[in-house]
Amino acid sequence: MASQPLSPAPAARKPKAAKVAKAAKTGASQLERKFQRLGLVEPADFVVHLPIRYEDETRIAEIGSVLPGRNVQVEGEVLYSEVQLRPRRQLVAAISDGTGRLYLRWLHFYPNQQRQVEAGRRVRVRGEVRQGFNGSEIVHPRVTVAGGPLPDALTPVYPATDGLPQPSLRRRIAQALEHADLAETLPPALCASLALPSFAGAIRTLHAPPAGMAVHDLVERGHPAWRRIKFDELLAQQLSLALARRRRRSQRAEPLTAANAELVQRLRSSLPFSLTAAQERVIGEIASDLARSFPMHRLLQGDVGSGKTIVAAFAAAQAIASGSQVAIMAPTEILAGQHFQKLSDWLQPLGVQVVWLTGSLTQKQRRQALENIASGHAELVIGTQALIQEKVQFPRLGLVILDEQHRFGVAQRLELNRKGDAEDASPELGPRLPHQLNMSATPIPRTLAMTFFADLDVSLIDELPPGRSPVITKLISDARREEVLSLVHREVQDGRQAYWVCPLVEESEALQLQTAVDTHGWLSEAFPDMTVGLMHGRMPAAEKQAVMDGFRRGEVQLLVATTVIEVGVDVPNACLMIIEHAERFGLAQLHQLRGRVGRGGGQSVCVLLYQGPLSMVARDRLKAMYETTDGFEIARRDLEQRGPGEFLGMRQSGQELLRYADLQSDTAIVEQAREAAALLMRDYPEHVSRHLQRWMRGRQDLLRS
């Protein structure tokens, strides 16, 4: 009764019946809550909650043939059973079927369990066999009366949460299978051409594989039934991407057509360097996006140091020349400050009004900035998260640029978009949205980009500015620290500068801070004739800025820092980077840190100081860093080592990206799903909505925007 699904109670009930119903309902709703925690609400959810493995209860094995480590089901007669008191209180029984003897042992037991195995009874026993003191035994076996009917299908074992018994799950899923709609969502021709089994067939096979089926195929997910499920899942994802794209194309944005305006041309001719071919290409891609009347949604990828900032400046110039305001948002104050400086240098002489907005402005400065923005006087606004606060009003926001976009949460990114011109909303066409340019130095491998990034066009700067020689990476054991010190000394004597990155202390921020202060202390002692600066996350913004400025001007020769310098910091004269306890850092982080050097003309060196013994994972990471400086290769290995969820920083959301398909081993299916999505969008609109209905209920928002 308690495991029945909740059904609406009939209006009139006799009091007694109502009481019983209420008790049952409490039990049921507890169970219901556990189901909900697994995302199981509607029958359709239960139907696609698929087993992780199976137990074979279709056969009775001979006791003489059972092997330790296997799950078995046997039947036999209880030879004896007794409660032993030493070495501890336990119930022990022995059964035999004539081919051998099996011991059963309970460390906790109830009287009814004792009665189940009274001598002379015939029992059916299931459990995992192990080698006991007297011979084969099962600890805490499941026991029923011998001779009952055997199931004709394998018994599924489902992913579950604590306290959710498999039998309840099985019962509910079996019910769902009877009631839910298992109708086909794919056109028959598509199933035929890809040799996919029907959805109903695949689902039934996976929930209840017929006796004798090769379990290995099912568990390893190579069986055609699994292929169908993975295909369906990936197809749903591709379809929702395609729909998002279609939706965006129906939205409105201001066309920013002034790609050849005087402002843009003057920016080009004022640069102290000439753009790389890759920069020219992506500037062109962005320029034509901006000229469209629906919002651009583009990701600009380029390895650290590839020169993304100037590309952003060109996009901004085009937007400003077209009469729009532009907002650039960076994840840290240091980075925002650096952008402010650079973009002011480039654009202010050309007459552009640049405004700076961060959390650390004084009340007065802040009010002034807000007024400038609201009056439309400010043409280019650069800042941190402060930009997305309520009070900031842009009358003509035409373009939003996010630097290091992976550092921002999805919500923050959407928020900035909403700064668009709501007053301009027209009843038929909706509000006008700003164009959006995301920039990232964390390259996203292609399969990942095409599966997880909601409707994003990608531009790639695949070339570094000329005259850069790749950074040399050295792995040095902590025991050889002295060598590293002399390296720093030599570098500074030659007039160059160095970073010293403090070890990451994940457990405690206070400890991390202490480590930074200590490191600064002993390095200052070790180099009495140098100016050693210190920068960490807890310092007030103004102080950080002052240290950074000193370093940029060359007054500070050695900068001791925590990972606050990880993103974007650009000081070309810094040619040496020491990373202490490099084994504690993630691959992407190491790559970002290393990207702080190798920005000037000279030869740069990155020293990864490590302390052994290294774990396998840490060894792989350091090896990858040593072997390549190519950001894409690093990203590929990072993805391989960490898996997509963690790679994309989506772990915290608690929801899996894909439940069944695996991007690394199922790339062929990803491609098929992509092609099929295009086909369905074009020729089978009915099927599109049916398929999404089944697979994407409430999950669309998982896609990154």
d(CA 693, CA 42) in angstroms, rounded, equals: 12
Q: CB–CB of 86/68 below 8 Å?
A: no
Amino acid at 329: M
The runs of H, that is alpha helices, within 220-323 are 224-249, 262-270, 277-290, 308-321
Q: Which does 310 bind (CB under 5 to 8 A by kind): ligand ADP, Mg ion, none?
A: ligand ADP
Nearer to ligand ADP, 64 or 600 (CB): 600
Nearer to ligand ADP, 404 or 421 (CB): 404
The CB-of-312 to ligand ADP minimum distance in angstroms stands at: 8
Nearer to Mg ion, 420 or 568 (CB): 568
The CB-of-571 to ligand ADP minimum distance in angstroms stands at: 9
Residue 434: is the preceding peptide bond cis (ω within 30°)? no
Q: Which of 51, 156, 295, 302 binds ligand ADP (CB under 6 A)?
A: 302
The CB-of-402 to ligand ADP minimum distance in angstroms stands at: 13
Q: Report the Cα–Cα distance between both ends of the chain, in Å, rounded.
A: 45
Q: Which of 309, 417, 438, 589 binds ligand ADP (CB under 6 A)?
A: 309
Question: What residue is closest to ligand ADP based on CB?
Answer: 307
Give the chain's count of helices (H) and strands (E).
Answer: 24, 23
The CB-of-571 to Mg ion minimum distance in angstroms stands at: 13
Considering only the stretches 188-196, 301-309, 407-415, 424-432, report the one whose residues sit in contact with ligand ADP under the rule CB under 6 A: 301-309
Establish if 307 lies at the interface with ligand ADP (CB under 6 A): yes
Q: CB–CB of 492/551 below 8 Å?
A: no
Nearer to ligand ADP, 465 or 643 (CB): 465
**Residues in contact with ligand ADP, shown as a per-residue x/- string from 310 to 349 under the rule CB under 6 A:** x---------------------------------------
Question: What residue is closest to Mg ion based on CB?
Answer: 568
d(CA 679, CA 701) in angstroms, rounded, equals: 24
Establish if 465 lies at the interface with ligand ADP (CB under 6 A): yes
Contact residues toward Mg ion (CB under 5 A) are 568
Residue 613: is the preceding peptide bond cis (ω within 30°)? yes
Considering only the stretches 364-372, 547-555, 564-572, 629-637, report the one whose residues sit in contact with ligand ADP under the rule CB under 6 A: 564-572
Q: CB–CB of 200/182 below 8 Å?
A: yes
Establish if 441 lies at the interface with ligand ADP (CB under 6 A): yes
The CB-of-309 to Mg ion minimum distance in angstroms stands at: 5
d(CA 143, CA 511) in angstroms, rounded, equals: 54
Pairing mode of beta strands 155-157, 53-55: antiparallel
The CB-of-299 to ligand ADP minimum distance in angstroms stands at: 13
Q: CB–CB of 677/242 below 8 Å?
A: yes
Q: What is the DSSP string of 69-104?
A: T-EEEEEEEEEEEEEE-SSS-EEEEEEE-SS-EEEE
The CB-of-404 to Mg ion minimum distance in angstroms stands at: 7
Nearer to Mg ion, 345 or 509 (CB): 345
CA distances from 484 to 424, 587, 610, 611, 652 (A): 60, 22, 12, 14, 38
Q: Which does 273 bind (CB under 5 to 8 A by kind): ligand ADP, Mg ion, none?
A: ligand ADP
At 514 the three-state DSSP class reads helix
Q: Which does 599 bind (CB under 5 to 8 A by kind): ligand ADP, Mg ion, none?
A: ligand ADP
Establish if 280 lies at the interface with ligand ADP (CB under 6 A): no
Q: Which of residues 580-599 bind ligand ADP (CB under 6 A)?
A: 599
Q: Which does 465 bind (CB under 5 to 8 A by kind): Mg ion, ligand ADP, none?
A: ligand ADP
Residues in contact with 613: Cβ distance below 8 Å, sequence separation at least 6, in sequence order: none
Q: Any bridge partners for residue 355, and if so which?
A: 381
Q: Which of 308, 419, 536, 591 binds ligand ADP (CB under 6 A)?
A: 308
The CB-of-304 to Mg ion minimum distance in angstroms stands at: 7
How many residues bind to ligand ADP according to rule CB under 6 A? 18
Residues in contact with 152: Cβ distance below 8 Å, sequence separation at least 6, in sequence order: 58, 210, 211
Q: Helix/strand/coil (H, E, C) string of 619-684?
A: HHHHHHHHHCCCHHHHHHHHHHHHCHHHHCCCHHHCCCCCCCCCCCCCHHHHHHHHHHHHHHHHHC
The CB-of-574 to ligand ADP minimum distance in angstroms stands at: 12
Establish if 306 lies at the interface with ligand ADP (CB under 6 A): yes
The CB-of-276 to ligand ADP minimum distance in angstroms stands at: 5
Q: Write out the residues near ligand ADP by the rule CB under 6 A.
A: 273, 275-276, 279, 302, 304-310, 441, 465, 568, 570, 572, 599
